[in-house]
Amino acid sequence: MNSNEERIQMIREAMELVREAQGLVDDAVSGDCGTTRLEANYEAYGRYGFNQLLGNGNPYDSSLDSLIEEIEKEL
């Protein structure tokens, strides 16, 4: 089993990967000439998962930061 410090580091690394993935998807769906249907749908629905994981969405939702805080309480 990993130590709590290792678990926290793994989550922080995952957060960076999620940010990178979000950027790639953002670039892939962005329209050259205004907002496309795909982009509007992604902004309204698909981006929610990224925002939730990174703590940029609803403040009452848990995020990866919340998970880190819970692990830190165990230390």
Strand boundaries in 4-55, DSSP class E: none
pLDDT tens by residue, 33-68: 667 888 888 988 889 889 999 998 777 788 999 999
pLDDT tens by residue, 3-16: 999 999 999 999 99
Domain boundaries, the chain: 4-64
pLDDT band at 70 (very low <50, low <70, confident <90, very high): very high
CB 52 within 8 A of CB 15: no
What value does the mean pLDDT take over residues 22-36? 82
CB 22 within 8 A of CB 50: yes
Helix axes 47-54, 4-29, angle to 10 degrees: 150
| pLDDT for residue 1 | 60
CA distance 70 to 51: 19
